[in-house]
Amino acid sequence: MSPRSSQVSKRRLLQFAGSLFIVELIRPLSKVSASLIVNQDRPYWRFCNKCYVMFYTDANSNSCAAGGTHVPQGYEFRLPFGSPETSTAQQNWRCCKKCQAMFFNGYSGKGRCPAGGSHVADNTFLYVLPHDVPGTPTAQTDWRFCNKCQAMFYDGYPEKGRCAAGGSHVAQGYNFVVLPHSR
């Protein structure tokens, strides 16, 4: 055996190192795209331009904290449901039967509902919402949990919308990515 045959050539070493670099570069991207893959989703979710919450539009009642009913604006979202919770997707999100807002149902207190009292969970669809991953052209960031009313609201404007618990919404916790949406 020649001494050269047991050594790795510089060219082979660079090819190997380049392959490792590409794998390490792609790995985080594949985790992000995997977190945005949805097996099941439900359409008809919209942003209310009065109170800024995410609400379900295909329903008869939809009380708004800013008075009257929600006013849809912008994209129509399709929210994922029925998946297990992961490090970048939180479960326990539900549609409120009374106001149609998306709210977090993971605490014993259910938050203030603009239709009166607390939110009441519709457990037909068990939503699992992605968070803390980059947005895409069809996945909008800046959706947040309000720690006063427990609804999902859009936090991308300087104003924070009208909260059913009084005043403006207050963002807490994860930065949710709502997906996919119409363009």
pLDDT at 42: 87
**Bridge partner list, 81:** 127
pTM: 0.78
pLDDT, one tens digit per residue, over 27-47 is 343 344 434 455 578 889 999
Mean pLDDT across 51-75: 93
Question: Is 120 within 8 Å of 98 (Cβ atoms)?
Answer: yes
pLDDT, one tens digit per residue, over 72-102 is 999 999 999 999 999 999 999 999 999 999 9
Residues 6+ apart with CB under 8 A from 38: 78, 80, 83, 179, 180
| Residue where the block lists tokens 């919770």 | 85
Number of neighbours of residue 58 by Cβ within 10 angstroms: 11
Q: Does the pLDDT value for residue 23 go beyond 80?
A: no
Q: How far apart are CA 167 and CA 123, in angstroms?
A: 29
Q: pLDDT-derived band of residue 66, with 50, 70 and 90 as boundaries?
A: very high
Q: pLDDT-derived band of residue 7, with 50, 70 and 90 as boundaries?
A: low
pLDDT at 115: 97
pLDDT, one tens digit per residue, over 98-148 is 999 999 999 999 999 999 999 999 999 999 999 999 999 989 999 999 999
Q: How far apart are CA 69 and CA 44, in angstroms?
A: 16
Q: Does the pLDDT value for residue 156 go beyond 80?
A: yes
Q: Does the pLDDT value for residue 24 go beyond 80?
A: no
Q: pLDDT-derived band of residue 59, with 50, 70 and 90 as boundaries?
A: confident
Instruction: Tell me the two tokens of residue 31.
Output: 């985790």
pLDDT at 121: 98
